[in-house]
Amino acid sequence: MASIVESGWQYLITHFSDFQLACLGSFFLHESVFFLSGLPFIFLERAGWLNKYKIQTKNNSPAAQEKCITRLLLYHFGVNLPVMLLSYPVFKFMGMRSSLPLPSWNIVFVQVMFYFVLEDFIFYWGHRVLHTKWLYKHVHSVHHEYATPFGLTSEYAHPAEILFLGFATIVGPAITGPHLITLWLWMVLRVLETVEAHCGYHFPWSLSNFIPLYGGADFHDYHHRLLYTKSGNYSSTFTYMDWQVSRVSPVLTSLLVNIYMLIVMIFGTDKGYRKLKALQHVGDGDGSKQM
């Protein structure tokens, strides 16, 4: 497998320049993964298939879906592509390379995990700032035009927000100066994660059912249902940043209070979401008793 990947990579670096791969190649890869993973959710919603897994019963109109796609193409070519072109000298300065040999998979794994944790931390605070009154009204409200999100709405946002929160995605690679293949893997995983978080469906095979602390669609869909400044669930990938002390068992509460100032993991911004899930759980229990 490693030899196949290296042979394919040898072909790329032989036929394309470093600049072409890092900028145009990254843009093409992003567009391909984003639209191929996001478009199916439009068709699912229109056809009504798998509705039993849909989180909200409301559907978006075809006109609203088409508006999202049109705006996305404008933003991607008018904002994302220029940013990629302008970022190339920075990434080269920070040590990014595309030559052989490829990095070992353990290095790739550690770097990508670091990017996920760092991005989630920066995104959380940037997202909370965007939910303050002025920034929400003038910037973030664009993203919240879709109270019932679908996969492609993950990148539907005001250009200022694209730059603001996009920083959270690129700061990790900018710090570490990874191999280009690591940067591509990170980009693919981040796109798939954010599309899934906005897809509007909670499937039995959703990652949030298997990976502890992973938010997923059910967690983020709640954020879109409640507009303005008090929605909570601000994290991009994981849930620990939104935790509150009171939802932990009494045995652990005192310990968590003592270390609260030492770790940034309990900010209490998922209270509404947890309350809703508790009410749903009680309702399900009552229904089973009546049966």
pLDDT at 269 over 90: no
Q: Where along the chain do its domains lie?
A: 2-52+59-201
* Mean local confidence (pLDDT), 282-289: 64
* Mean local confidence (pLDDT), 164-175: 92
Residue 291: predicted pLDDT: 46
State the residue for tokens 């869909």. 221
Tell me the pLDDT tens digit for each residue of 103-137: 999 999 999 999 999 999 999 989 988 998 899 99
pLDDT at 250 over 80: no
Mean pLDDT score across all residues of the chain:
89
Residue 276: predicted pLDDT: 87
The phi, psi pair for 175, rounded to 5°, reads: -75, -40
* Confidence bin at 264 (pLDDT 50/70/90): very low
The structure's pTM equals 0.86
pLDDT at 220 over 60: yes
Highest-confidence segment of 114-123, 266-275, 276-285: 114-123
288 vs 284: CA distance, rounded Å: 6
Residue 287: predicted pLDDT: 58
Region of poorest pLDDT, from 13-27, 69-83, 158-172, 269-283: 269-283
* Mean local confidence (pLDDT), 141-170: 95
76 vs 152: CA distance, rounded Å: 12
The crossing angle, in degrees rounded to 10, of helices 180-197 and 105-130 is 50
- If you write DSSP's letter for every residue of 37-54 in order, what string do you get? HHHHHHHHHHHTTTGGGB
* Mean local confidence (pLDDT), 68-97: 94
Closest CA relative to residue 123, chosen from 171, 80, 173, 185? 171
Contact (CB, 8 A) for 273 and 219: yes
Residue 283: predicted pLDDT: 74
pLDDT at 139 over 90: yes
pLDDT at 230 over 80: no
Contact (CB, 8 A) for 178 and 96: yes
35 vs 40: CA distance, rounded Å: 9
Region of poorest pLDDT, from 172-186, 207-221, 239-253: 239-253
Residue 262: predicted pLDDT: 53
Residue 254: predicted pLDDT: 55
